[in-house]
């Protein structure tokens, strides 16, 4: 498997901490000190998860030099689809990728990483040749904007990576680990509501609809700073990789304190820990590919660079992967 292209798309509205303080009792200093976030993007009229994901996918195809009909598979990692029956087929149609099968994969903030690993298996076994993996979320529609413990954290966005089979060459997915622990699922949820309506005499049926995001921030933080460095250390041991060989540490962008703690635990200098959290907040499944695209386009990530990445979040789920970037660098973006 080779990573050969990337792209991203963001809503036009950037909502600053100061703007948000007019809605809920908070302030810029409070948010920055606890999260590292200064602003987040929020989808406006005409901006949907489908449109953002399609734009990100189109940019990744252009970066890789592919045509939509070259695709065999589109994997959409999302927890906030436009259609619960599946949004990936809508993206397939919008792209004109008529030869590709398309489906959604849900694993919250670990979704992109899990989808990338899934795509790698299709490519390795020879059933697929070219795959587009998209991470996209529009969590703004599931936030209680009067709850300052969650509304300051999340933003909307989409990003994509183009992957292709590379028989006979070094695999761009050098190793991975994946974990889930449903015993801690209540720490971070986006659950169905409990409203019911009459059906026939003596019986009711549940009405569809979701409650706002609920999170136990302290428990999620403790989970992340414990499990993320542990899974990365295990992966590095599995692959015989020293931290000095890693060009970049690319973590799910949830909280700057988590990024700093993991980098310190692994002994990776701060200037090799990628972060764009301040500008976009937590875009869930989009954070890793969004950061990847930004760092490729500005020239930080260059062809051949080794990237240690980790996704973590609701489920609870977490994992890590060791990736080699083979696509164009900044000059080719």
**Active-site residues: which are they?**
109, 252, 282
Task: Give residue for tokens 């200064």.
Answer: 38
Q: What are 209's two structure tokens?
A: 């609809």
Burial 265-293 (b: 16+ CB within 10 A, else e): ebebeeebbbbebbbbbbbbbbbbbbbbb
Whether the upstream peptide bond of residue 138 has omega within 30° of 0, thus cis, is no
Question: What's the full length of the chain, in residues?
Answer: 333
230: left (phi over 0), alpha (psi -120 to 50) or beta: alpha
Alpha-carbon distance of 19 to 150, in angstroms, equals 16
* Helix residue ranges per DSSP H, 134-216: 148-151
Q: How many CA atoms lie within 13 A of 3 on its CB side?
A: 28
Strand blocks (E) in 213-283: 214-215, 248-251
Alpha-carbon distance of 136 to 125, in angstroms, equals 26
Strand blocks (E) in 139-185: 156-164, 173-180
Alpha-carbon distance of 249 to 230, in angstroms, equals 14
Paired residues of 182 in beta bridges: none
By the 8 A CB rule, do 141 and 290 touch? no
Q: Kindly state the helix (H) or strand (E) to which residue 55 belongs, with its residue range.
A: helix 49-64
By the 8 A CB rule, do 135 and 289 touch? yes
Alpha-carbon distance of 85 to 321, in angstroms, equals 29
């Amino acid at each position: 498997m080779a990573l050969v292209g990337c792209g991203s798309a963001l809503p036009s509205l950037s909502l600053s901490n100061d703007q948000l303080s007019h809605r809920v009792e908070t302030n810029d200093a409070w948010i920055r000190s606890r999260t590292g976030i200064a602003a987040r993007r929020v989808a406006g009229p005409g901006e949907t998860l489908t449109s953002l994901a399609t734009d990100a996918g189109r940019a990744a195809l252009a970066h890789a030099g592919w045509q939509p009909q070259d695709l065999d598979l589109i994997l959409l990692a999302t927890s906030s689809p436009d259609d619960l029956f599946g949004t990936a087929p809508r993206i397939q149609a919008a792209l004109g990728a008529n030869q590709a099968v398309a489906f959604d994969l849900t694993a919250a903030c670990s979704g992109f990483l899990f989808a990338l690993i899934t795509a790698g298996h299709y490519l390795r076994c020879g059933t697929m040749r070219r795959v587009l993996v998209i991470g996209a979320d529009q969590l703004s529609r599931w936030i209680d904007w009067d709850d300052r413990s969650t509304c300051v954290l999340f933003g909307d966005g989409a990003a994509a990576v183009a992957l292709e089979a590379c028989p006979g060459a070094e695999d761009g997915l050098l190793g991975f680990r994946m974990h889930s622990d449903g015993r801690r699922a209540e720490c971070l949820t986006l659950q169905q509501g409990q409203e019911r309506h009459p059906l026939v005499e003596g019986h009711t049926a549940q009405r569809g609809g979701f409650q706002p995001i609920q999170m136990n921030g302290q428990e999620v933080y403790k989970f992340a700073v414990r499990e993320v460095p542990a899974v990365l250390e295990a992966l590095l041991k599995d692959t015989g990789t020293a931290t000095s060989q890693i060009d970049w540490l690319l973590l799910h962008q949830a909280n700057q304190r988590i990024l700093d703690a993991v980098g310190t635990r692994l002994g990776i200098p701060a200037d090799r820990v990628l972060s764009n959290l301040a500008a976009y907040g937590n875009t869930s499944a989009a954070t890793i590919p969004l950061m990847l695209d930004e760092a490729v386009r500005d020239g930080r990530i260059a062809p051949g660079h080794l990237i240690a990445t980790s996704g973590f979040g609701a489920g609870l789920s977490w994992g890590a992967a060791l990736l080699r970037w083979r696509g164009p660098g900044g000059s080719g973006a």
